């Protein structure tokens, strides 16, 4: 990365799962660099959802490097995810026609529940996860619930609501970063993750009011459906990485979700 910026810059890896992110620092400036980041970063930047995009450069090998403002700030804590501003920013994202148009322009198509379930069943078969009783039970429930989870409004979903992806700058601006897994689908994918992981159930109504919607049975069904999908996928992912403690936690989560689903 140094050869892109010049000798006066110091570049260090920023970590992350892809290993393609870097911090760059000179005497006067600081940047966050990423190789082959999401193509709709420019729209996210223009809407103030991610830190400002400074420049984009294409390398000789075809890779694209983006540079964003490196802001002083902090990741939100799990407790801070309860703040109304989180609900408001997620609502802004879900209601953005510009983001949706851009994602469709780069070839993303709305993901239907039947496609998600078909893909999951294939993954389960390939990995032998049907051997787990909870996975077998959950697949049957997911099939039975399929007619209940169709939702007309398809939006841009971030798909990773981990508190580490929410950044609060020193000037009080909230950002949602790491858009590599974004897709077009049911907003219940994102909403369910936040409510399940971070919001006490007695506060769900208030949080959803801040978001701009109401808690009803249809939303709860859709949230639980997508959360079960996530738990099975995470169980397989952790098992393949021999992270058996984390895999067991996902099975426990799946058990809880199975108990909660009313058919």
Cα separation, 212 vs 219, whole angstroms:
13
Q: What is the DSSP letter of 242?
A: T
Q: Under a CB-based contact definition with an 8 Å cutoff, are residues 232 and 129 in contact?
A: yes
Angle at CA 68, nearest 5°, toward 65 and 73?
140
- What tokens does 97 get? 């026609």
Helix (H, G, I), strand (E, B) or coil at 244: helix
Q: How many CB atoms lie under 10 A from the CB of residue 224?
A: 22
Q: Which residue from 115, 114, 113, 132 is spatially nearest to 232, judged by alpha carbons?
A: 132
Q: What is the DSSP letter of 149?
A: -
Cα separation, 4 vs 24, whole angstroms:
11
Out of 63, 160, 186, 230, the active site residue is 160
160 in active site: yes
Cα separation, 35 vs 59, whole angstroms:
10
Q: Annotated active-site positions, please?
A: 160
């Amino acid at each position: 990365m140094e050869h892109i910026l010049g000798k006066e810059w110091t570049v260090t890896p920023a970590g992350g799962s892809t290993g393609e992110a870097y911090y760059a620092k000179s005497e006067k400036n600081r940047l966050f660099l990423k190789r082959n980041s999401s193509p709709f970063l420019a729209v996210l930047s223009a809407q103030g959802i991610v830190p400002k995009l400074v420049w984009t450069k294409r390398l000789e090998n075809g890779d694209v490097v983006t540079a964003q403002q490196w802001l002083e700030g902090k990741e939100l804590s799990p407790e801070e995810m309860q703040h109304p501003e989180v609900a408001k920013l997620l609502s802004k994202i879900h209601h953005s026609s510009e983001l949706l148009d851009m994602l469709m322009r780069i070839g993303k198509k709305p993901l239907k529940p039947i496609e998600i379930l078909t893909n999951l069943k294939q993954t389960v078969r390939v990995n032998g996860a049907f051997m787990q009783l909870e996975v077998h039970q959950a697949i049957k429930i997911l099939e039975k619930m399929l007619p209940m989870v169709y939702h007309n409004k398809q939006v841009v979903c971030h798909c990773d609501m981990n508190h580490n992806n929410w950044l609060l700058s020193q000037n009080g601006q909230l950002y949602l970063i790491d858009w590599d897994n974004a897709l077009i689908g049911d907003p219940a994918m994102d909403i369910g993750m936040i409510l399940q992981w971070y919001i006490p159930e007695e506060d769900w109504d208030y949080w959803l009011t801040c978001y701009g919607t109401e808690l009803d049975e249809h939303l709860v069904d859709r949230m639980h459906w997508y959360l079960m999908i996530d738990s099975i996928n995470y169980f397989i992912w952790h098992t393949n990485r021999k992270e058996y403690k984390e895999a067991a936690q996902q099975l426990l989560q799946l058990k809880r979700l199975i108990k909660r689903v009313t058919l």
